[in-house]
Structure 1
Amino acid sequence: MAKPNSKQPVKTVDVICTKCKTVLFKYRKGGKGALVKCFKERIAKDFTTSECLCPNCGNTFARDALIRGTPAYKIIGGKATIK
């Protein structure tokens, strides 16, 4: 399978918890689509203390996964959104 594009996007978005509206991380997202997965190498600034858990409410917003051979977070539907 193809690797994700090595040239990272310039535009950053805030990934927020939908339950408590806490910023989870700043992510370099490419394209206009919905947030389905977050490659770990594209996270610009991480505000979480433990992987896949919201630091404020403790909500699990993603699962650890290997997508196209690259470590990533697979976002659980409706648990996290972009702003």
Structure 2
Amino acid sequence: MAKPNKKGPTQTVEIACAKCRTLLFKYRKGGKGALIKCFKERIVTDYTHTPCTCPQCDQIFARDTLVRGAPAFKFVGGKVTMK
């Protein structure tokens, strides 16, 4: 399978914790669909201290996986919101 485009889209979105509204990532997202996964190479700014854990409420919001051969975070349903 093909890897995701490294340059990726130019539009950035802010990903926040759904429980405490703490900002987690600034991410270059492509398309209009729901937020299911987040490729690590497209993360512009990372506000988390430990991977996949909210820095404020310590809730686990994602799993560390490989998607199409590229490292990514796969989000748990309902744990994150996108602005």
TM-score w.r.t. the length of structure 1 is: 0.97
Q: What CA distance in whole angstroms lies between the structure 1 residues aligned with 2:36 and 2:81?
A: 9
- Identical aligned residues as a percent: 64
Q: What CA distance in whole angstroms lies between the structure 1 residues aligned with 2:24 and 2:36?
A: 15
Q: Gaps (5+ residues) in structure 2?
A: none
Q: 1:34 corresponds to which residue?
A: 34
Q: What CA distance in whole angstroms lies between the structure 2 residues aligned with 1:81 and 1:59?
A: 14
Q: Is the 8 A contact 2:13 2:27 kept in 1?
A: yes
Q: 2:66 corresponds to which residue?
A: 66
TM-score w.r.t. the length of structure 2 is: 0.97
Question: What's the Cα RMSD here?
Answer: 0.6
Q: What CA distance in whole angstroms lies between the structure 2 residues aligned with 1:5 and 1:47?
A: 23
Runs of 4+ in 1 over 2 A off after TM superposition: none
Q: Is the 8 A contact 2:6 2:41 kept in 1?
A: no
Q: Gaps (5+ residues) in structure 1?
A: none
One-letter code aligned to 1:54:
C
Q: What CA distance in whole angstroms lies between the structure 2 residues aligned with 1:49 and 1:2?
A: 31
